Amino acid sequence: MKHFLLPILAASIFSASADEAQKAKLIEIGKASFATCMACHGPDGQGVAVGPDKKMAPTLAGSKIATGDPAVFALSVLKGIQKDPANTAVLGIMAPLEATLDDEKLAGVMTYVRNSFGNKADVVTPEDAKKFREMFKDIKAPVLRADLEKTAASHKK
Ligand code: HEC
């Protein structure tokens, strides 16, 4: 019995540590890429404050977009979010960043945000990032925040 179980055990331990190593690498890459996001979201992800009651961007801590369906998060970062004039609490614009982030950096920054500022969510791999870029390639303009989920869903096959 023992000699059947051992290789299985060894294989599962190996794959768990490979996953951990990949996650650590993605977080390291993402931490560096997060420099792109800091101007608006701040080093702590809370959103750079402008005066007493306004911010450049919303907090990423507990953000449903950041920690939820990675397709919706990827769509926001790749294409940007169309400015809603009714939302006067944030002064900045979520810019389209698809040209700035290659698949590894996109995966890294998403994994970093999903596992920082108190957030805890699944890893996004460079393969996932590539898939999202391909999935949304026909979208040429930032998407309204209210339409993000619907747009992501309509592009899933
Ligand atoms: C030029 C400023 C700017 C930069 C740079 C920027 N963002 Fe944003 N981001 C915004 C603004 C403004 C919003 C709010 C958009 C809205 O709801 O209209 C936003 C919204 C978001 C949201 C949705 C948050 C929520 O739940 O409300 C996420 C997630 C996000 N940004 C992630 C990122 C990541 C990751 C980066 C870097 C790769 C980044 N942003 C770079 C300004 C910026």
User: pLDDT digits over 99-146, tens only?
Assistant: 999 999 999 999 999 999 999 999 999 999 999 999 999 999 999 999
Sign of CA dihedral 6, 11, 17, 20: negative
The total number of structural domains that make up the chain: 1
Q: Which atom of ligand 1 is nearest to the CA of 66?
A: 29
Ligand 1 within 6 A of CB of 90: yes
| Predicted local distance difference test score (pLDDT) of residue 16 | 78
Pocket test for ligand 1, best of 94, 97, 98, 109 (most atoms within 8 A of CB): 94
Record the pTM.
0.92
pLDDT band for position 18 (50/70/90)? Answer: confident
**Residue 76 Cα to ligand 1 middle (Å):** 8
Domain that holds residue 26: 2-155
Is pLDDT at 1 greater than 60 in this prediction? no
User: Quick one: how far is CA 47 from the chain centroid?
Assistant: 16
Q: Which residue has the higher pLDDT, 13 or 30?
A: 30
- 147: domain CATH number? 1.10.760.10
Whole-number pLDDT of residue 52:
93
Nearest CA to ligand 1 atom 27: 58
Nearest CA among 84, 92, 86, 85 for reference residue 58? 92
Q: Which atom of ligand 1 is nearest to the CA of 82?
A: 18
Average pLDDT of span 76-88: 94
Pocket flag, ligand 1, residue 124 (CB < 6 Å)? no
Query: Which residue out of 34, 40, 65, 145 has the highest number of ligand 1 atoms within 8 Å of its CB and is therefore the one to mutate?
Result: 40
2-6, 33-37, 41-45, 110-114: lowest mean pLDDT where?
A: 2-6
Count Cβ atoms below 10 Å from residue 80 Cβ, excluding itself: 17
Q: How far is the CA of 139 from the centre of ligand 1 (A)?
A: 18
Average pLDDT over residues 64-82: 98
Find out whether the beta carbon of 107 lies less than 6 Å from any atom of ligand 1: no
pLDDT value for 124: 98
* Residue 40 reports pLDDT greater than 60: yes
157 pLDDT higher than 90: no
Residue 65 near residue 119 (C-beta atoms within 8 A)? no
Pairing of strands 49-50, 143-144: unpaired
> What value does the mean pLDDT take over residues 47-76?
97
pLDDT on residue 7: 76
Instruction: Tell me which DSSP letter residue 67 carries.
Output: H
Run of H or E including 105? helix 103-114
pLDDT for 2 equals 63
